[in-house]
Chain A
């Protein structure tokens, strides 16, 4: 759908010449997020600098019935910040200020484009931090984190992004600017903050986010436990949780991943190991000393070959570097991979890991695992080579089978990456028609004209009305499902 010249001039009048990208080369930069399988370039990209500009852009698009796609840093993994129907993308990268840091009330208000880690960097000398820590935190934005309700290794103890969002300013799909929640921790009325967090830009565009800041713990202890098999490591995870220990993080990495990391950045993980557990405890010193001792005993009971405790911050950083860059290191293993983000109840971890091995054998594909074991959130990387005929199809089938296995154990379709285009059709595995109908109606309340990020988060559904039909031809890339 080519946008009318008049429409483009109106956009430029709102965001200025340097806030509008409309050239073919420029737009191509925005055609996908980190899930490069799904491509769809917007017809124009706006880079607003204020709430008023965002609201004006939304109202203009509403009038012209042009789809809107919000985008933060574009580090999502779900085909979220891409434009399957073209339209206008609103990138928040220029709205990246910290508006207010209020340490006595342990909170901060920021613009959505602020990079996650910058917030912690701004307050850590005073002893505070922002807890959500997706592996992308060096580049991902807080608005993007809130929109996708991002997780991260430390959400085992601290909770995911929604547990840390106190308030939002949002431009809804109806073009209104609403302020939800805020510094005060209770407000009368529905918890719309909790509804908008994780809505993936389908209800509105975030223009401000008020987040909790936590005081840094007294002490941190990070250890690496080495096992000969994934099964032993999974049993150790269940044992630690069952003992009433909630570590700050509890991450499992299997042999293919360990090999990839060691050949790549070299984090000091033992190369021949079947699995390692990265265990981090934080809190009062006396608490973590005791819990570390017990966790080590549990690991030894589950046949741990070795337990290594980081002696200083440098060693801790190295252990974490391996984990945080694991997905990147997989490039050494395989030219292509699919990533699954399903969740199982934690007691089912050993069972699902046996299933992963069985699926890997059945399809003749390597499946590498690096995941948030403590809360049962899997991240199997299904390796394939798209130059080999049939491998992609097998990988897609293996992925689907794995997802169904997780749901059959009482799990969830996605633990932290979100739905986007990628998993929209999978929602029917977790929800019945009535449940999806409720969600579709909820969406309509915020976005009556279905202009906000159409084609994402929900399967197409009768209650949504007709699927979004922009003027002119849609241009869904081949292979994309909506």
Chain B
């Protein structure tokens, strides 16, 4: 029998303490997910708290949304049910850091920005640089499979998460992976948890692979009159022995501070001699491709990406890397054609574009003329368009993740029902609203 709401708040407070249970209107409003208001917010301080909270939620058939920094709570379909928010900001300790191992184990609520200085003191870093900023929590970055320009050299969460502790939907605390840089013991459970949006378990602790900070770094920006004109340079870099750590394409409002309508930004990180030598090679290739080359100022990559912050709709478009420049151009034309403004920053070397669109369209127009059109464009090559941010009325019209092949989707659904049969964790928010 479900307990009364009064008994429930008592039970929640019994686990986390009264001051870590929030039920006031202002707090609840600030933690709404796609307009759905939770009835309570809890802020656990230990893994055991999380375990007890989820056990309670499962017993009471409640739906819970885990939350890190809250930056990307808009990712996903609107929740089918939402009772409470599990705010993990209180789990923010560095559990273990041995610089000589180039690994660290942290609690998942820790923001990237809080971890970075500890690592920097040892000339090391955790190379995930999501565009929406370093205030994001490690757990949130892992659960949303977030990455940024540095993925070209260092990979994505799947390459950097070595071990993970998570709490299953029934409260069972579980560990997968290892604390060392190389392990094939049993199934690679960390891979399953990356990008799973907390739908299979709540991430509470992560062992991360670290990298040494390159001694020197320099960025070059090569401007072009159109995005399509950047294709030659991108192909030439990919077909060379140059080893950039970032290889980005910028167009539209994202290229506002460059000399053209589009640009390619390339950075090298290495010993100073190798940065200089590779930069010289790059400049030569770039001029051969008709680009206008400048070296960027030091904060080029840490600047806030304003074009993203102001956007009405943000899409993550994935396509074969060789199509990145052409696709940027097509998106710009599409935007111009329907009277909206586009800014694109993309990991060109990986074929992943962050597309920010600003304008006034009806929900139906966003759905068919923008998102639907782009999905149709990238589908033949196996691409995808994920709607990372959109007004609620747009999100209600479509699946923000886009289609998944039926056989693969069937497997994913079996996984979800195996590990969360009651739909405790983020029901409705993941692919096909599972």
> What residues of chain A have their CB less than 8 Å away from a CB belonging to chain B?
102-106, 127, 148-149, 151, 155, 159-160, 162-163, 172, 176-180, 182-195, 197-199, 215-218, 238, 241-242, 244-246, 283-287, 289-291, 343-347, 372, 375-377, 410-419, 423, 427, 430-432, 434-439, 441-446, 457-458
Q: Is B3 an interface residue (CB 8 A)?
A: no
In-complex Cβ contact of B383 among A184, A194, A412, A446 (8 A): A184
Contact residues in B for A284 (Cβ distance below 8 Å):
241-243, 270, 274, 277-278
B181 contacts across to A, CB distance below 8 A? 343, 346, 375-376
Please state if A195 and B271 are interface contacts (CB–CB under 8 Å): no
Name the residue of chain A whose CB is nearest to the CB of B209.
A159
C-alpha spacing A127/B240, complex, angstroms: 8
Shortest CB distance B404–A (Å): 5
Are B182 and A190 touching (Cβ within 8 A)? no
| Contact mask for chain B residues 368-379; partner A; CB cutoff 8 A; 1 contact, 0 none | 000000000010
Residues of A contacting B103 in the complex (Cβ-Cβ under 8 angstroms): 345
Task: List 7 interface pairs A-B (beta carbons < 8 Å), by A numbering.
Answer: A104-B239, A184-B378, A344-B180, A347-B100, A431-B185, A436-B186, A438-B176
Tell me whether A197 and B188 are in contact in the complex, defined as CB-CB below 8 angstroms, given that A192-B411, A434-B173 are known contacts.
yes
Q: Please determine whether A188 and B178 come into contact, CB atoms closer than 8 angstroms.
A: no
- Residue A343 contacts which of B99, B182, B211, B215 (CB distance < 8 angstroms)? B182
| Residues from chain B with Cβ under 8 Å of A432 in the complex | 175
Give Cα A218–Cα B277 distance, bound, in whole angstroms: 12
Is B384 close to A, CB under 8 A? yes
A151, B185: Cβ atoms closer than 8 Å: no
| Smallest CB-CB A-B distances: 7 pairs | A194-B191, A244-B212, A287-B274, A412-B183, A347-B100, A188-B401, A104-B322
**Residue of A105, A241, A437 touching B100 (CB-CB under 8 A):** A241
Interface core residue of A199, A284, A427, A457 (most chain B CB under 10 Å): A284
Q: Which of A184, A217, A439 interacts with B241 by CB under 8 Å? A: A217
B172 at the interface (CB under 8 A from A): yes
- A177's nearest neighbour on chain B, judged by CB, is B407
Contacts of A344 in B (CB 8 A): 180
**Closest Cβ neighbor of B430 among chain A residues:** A189
Q: Give the distance in Å from the alpha carbon of A192 to the alpha carbon of B200 in the complex.
A: 13
Pairwise interchain contact A286-B274, C-beta atoms closer than 8 A: yes
- Is there an interface contact between B384 and A439, defined as CB atoms closer than 8 Å? no
Q: What interface size band does chain B fall in?
A: 35 or more
Interface residue from A186, A246, A434 paired with B212 (Cβ < 8 Å): A246
Q: Which of B377-416 contact A (CB under 8 A)?
A: 378, 381-384, 386, 401-402, 404-405, 407-412, 414-415
283-337 of chain B: CB within 8 A of chain A: 316, 318-322
Q: When chains A and B are docked, how far (Å) is the Cα of A375 from the Cα of B410?
A: 38
Return chain B residues, CB-CB under 8 Å to A185.
318, 321, 350-352
Is B184 engaged at the interface, CB distance under 8 Å to the other chain?
A: yes
Complex CA distance for A190 and B198, rounded to whole angstroms: 11
CB atoms of B407 and A184 under 8 A apart = no
CB contacts (< 8 Å) of B37 on chain A: these are: none
A184 to B386, CA, bound (A): 13
Are A415 and B183 neighbours in the complex by a CB distance under 8 Å?
yes
Smallest distance from the beta carbon of A145 to chain B beta carbons, Å? 11
Q: Given A194-B194, A215-B240, A445-B418, is A343 in contact with B183 using a C-beta cutoff of 8 Å?
A: yes
B433 at the interface (CB under 8 A from A): no
State which of A178, A194, A416, A435 has its C-beta within 8 Å of the C-beta of B192. A194
Nearest-neighbor residue (CB-CB) of B404 within chain A: A189
Report how far A267 CA is from B250 CA in the complex, Å.
51
A233 to chain B, nearest CB (A): 16
Query: Is A442 touching B100 in the complex (CB atoms < 8 A)?
Result: no
Report the bound CA distance from A215 to B78 in whole Å: 42
B432: nearest chain-A partner, CB-CB: A189
Complexed CA–CA distance, A412 and B162 (Å): 11
> Contacts A179-B408, A284-B270: A160 and B189 contacting too (C-beta < 8 A)?
no
Whose C-beta in chain A lies nearest to the C-beta of B178? A412
Contact A430 B191 (CB under 8 A): no
**A177 CA to B407 CA, complexed, in Å:** 7
Contact B351 A241 (CB under 8 A): no
Give bound CA distance, A411 to B382, whole Å: 39
In the complex, which residues of chain A have a beta carbon less than 8 angstroms from the beta carbon of B145?
A: 186, 191
Residues from chain A with a CB closer than 8 A to the CB of B101 are: 345-347
- CB within 8 Å for A187 and B238 given contacts A162-B191, A179-B407, A194-B194: no
Q: A151 vs B412: C-alpha distance in the bound complex, in angstroms? A: 28
**Residue of A whose beta carbon sits closest to that of B350:** A185
Which of A188, A195, A346 counts the most B-chain CB atoms under 10 A from its CB?
A: A188
* Whole-angstrom distance between the Cβ of A190 and the nearest chain B Cβ: 5
| Complex contacts, A446 vs chain B, CB 8 Å | 411
B13: interface (CB < 8 Å): no
Asked if A242 and B100 make an inter-chain contact with CB atoms under 8 angstroms apart, the answer reads yes
Which single member of B158, B180, B410 contacts A176 (CB below 8 Å)? B410
B235 at the interface (CB under 8 A from A): yes
A349, closest chain B residue (CB): B100
B318 interface neighbour in A127, A186, A439, Cβ under 8 Å:
A186
Closest residue on chain A to residue B211 by CB atoms? A246
Chain B residues with CB below 8 A from A376, complex form: 180-182
CB distance from A141 to the nearest CB of B (A): 17
- The verdict on A414 contacting B274 (CB below 8 Å), with A188-B384, A190-B192, A345-B179 known, is no
Q: Are A442 and B384 in contact (CB under 8 A)?
A: no
5 further contact pairs, Cβ within 8 A, besides A104-B238, A287-B271: A162-B158, A194-B191, A343-B183, A345-B103, A412-B180
Q: CB of B196 within 8 A of chain A?
A: yes
- Which A residue's beta carbon lies closest to that of B99? A242
Q: Is the CB of B186 within 8 A of A427?
A: yes
CB distance B188 to A346 under 8 Å? no
| CB atoms of A411 and B352 under 8 A apart | no
Q: Return A403 CB to nearest CB of chain B, in Å.
A: 11
Q: B159 contacts A159, CB within 8 Å?
A: yes
A186 touching B194, Cβ below 8 Å: no
Give the distance to chain B from A197, nearest Cβ to Cβ, in Å: 7
Q: Determine the chain B residues whose CB is within 8 A of the CB of A127 once the complex forms.
A: 239, 241
A290 to B: closest C-beta gap in Å: 4
- Among A103, A185, A199, A217, max chain B CB count under 10 A is at A185
- A442–B352 CB distance below 8 A: no
Q: How far is the CA of A246 from the CA of B209 in the complex (A)?
A: 13
The listed residue (A106, A184, A197) touching B382 by CB distance below 8 A is A184
CB distance from B425 to the nearest CB of A (A): 13
A442 cross-chain contacts in B, Cβ below 8 A: 187, 189, 192, 415, 418
Q: Is the CB of B182 within 8 A of A180?
A: no
Shortest CB-to-CB span from A378 to chain B, Å, is: 11
Known contacts A197-B188, A444-B418: does B175 contact A189 (CB below 8 Å)? no
Q: A160-B182, A187-B318 are in contact. Are A435 and B411 (CB under 8 A)?
A: no
Taking the complex as formed, is B123 at the interface, i.e. its CB lies under 8 A from any CB of chain A?
Answer: yes
B195 CB within 8 Å of chain A? yes
Query: Contact flags (1/0) for B346-379 with A, using CB distance below 8 Å?
Result: 0000111000000000000000000000000010
Contact call B351/A184, Cβ cutoff below 8 A: yes
B100 A238 Cβ-Cβ under 8 A: yes
Assess the B183–A414 pair: CB atoms within 8 A: yes
Q: Which residues of B contact A417 (CB under 8 A)?
A: 184
Output the nearest chain A residue to B151 by Cβ-Cβ distance.
Answer: A185
Report the minimum CB–CB distance from A36 to chain B (whole Å).
21
User: Whose C-beta in chain B lies nearest to the C-beta of A188?
Assistant: B401
B114 at the interface (CB under 8 A from A): no
Q: Give the complex CA separation of A127 and B378 in angstroms.
A: 29
Known: A127-B239, A160-B182, A445-B414. Contact between A184 and B188, CB under 8 A? no
Chain B nearest CB from A412 CB (Å) reads 4
B416–chain A nearest beta-carbon distance, Å = 9
Nearest CB of chain A from residue B199's CB, rounded to whole Å: 9
Residues on the B chain within 8 Å of A458, using CB: 186
Using CB atoms, name the residue of chain B closest to A160.
B182
Instruction: State the CA gap A413–B177 with chains docked (Å).
Output: 11
Q: How far is the CB of B347 from chain A (nearest CB, A)?
A: 9
User: Measured between C-beta atoms, what is the minimum distance from B48 to chain A in Å?
Assistant: 14
Q: Please, which residues of chain A bring their CB within 8 A of the CB of B322?
A: 102, 104-105
Within the assembled complex, what's the spacing in Å between the Cα atoms of A3 and B74? Answer: 56
